[in-house]
Amino acid sequence: MTNSTDPGRKASITIGNTIGDMARVVDLVERFGAAHDIPEAARNDLNLCLDELLNNTISYGYDDAGHHNLVVTLSLANGRLIAEVRDDARPFDPRQATPAPAGSLQARRIGGVGLHFVKTLMDEVGYVRVGPQNVVTIAKKY
């Protein structure tokens, strides 16, 4: 875990834009959560949502095959476990994603379900574009 301002209450990791690097984020969430007695259910929800956000960015966010960095920062504030994801992918606000498709699984088009999970499982979802970066913030009360 790396930290620049508040030892123990904040941790961050930089990963490359490869699916294989996502396991490092899971490990960070588990270690950070265990160190701060965050309930397993909250850690699992956060990991599921980060998996969805990172997978979408890595799979669909870039117009080139070059190397890009994604930075995930975890913090604690006011009884909330907060994750911030910064990337330089195409602008994408997950709050504006279409709602989960209705109807049977067979009748649904692929896509849309994962971001529905993010909005449902997290207590807060925020987005801002800062220069060339997407900054997505998700928070879970614990």
Residue ranges covered by each domain of the chain: 10-141
Helix 40-60 to helix 22-35 angle, to the nearest 10 degrees?
160
Model confidence at 109: pLDDT above 90: no
Q: Which residue has the higher pLDDT, 118 or 105?
A: 118
Distance between CA atoms of residues 131 and 2, nearest Å: 24
Model confidence at 110: pLDDT above 70: no
pLDDT tens by residue, 30-82: 999 999 999 999 999 999 999 999 999 999 999 999 999 999 999 999 999 99
What is this structure's pTM? 0.86
Q: What are the DSSP calls for 71-136, one per residue? A: EEEEEEETTEEEEEEEE-SS---GGGSPPPPPS-TTTSPSSSHHHHHHHHH-SEEEEEEETTEEEE
What is the band of 1 on the pLDDT scale with cuts at 50, 70, 90?
A: very low
Model confidence at 12: pLDDT above 50: yes
Which value, in Å, is the radius of gyration of the alpha carbons in the chain? 15
* The pairing of beta strand 124-130 with beta strand 10-16: unpaired
H/E element, 45:
helix 40-60
Give me the CATH topology for the region 10-141: Heat Shock Protein 90 (3.30.565)
Yes or no: say if 112 and 99 are a contact pair by the CB < 8 Å rule: yes
138 is written with which tokens?
Answer: 């998700």
| Beta-bridge mates of residue 23 | none
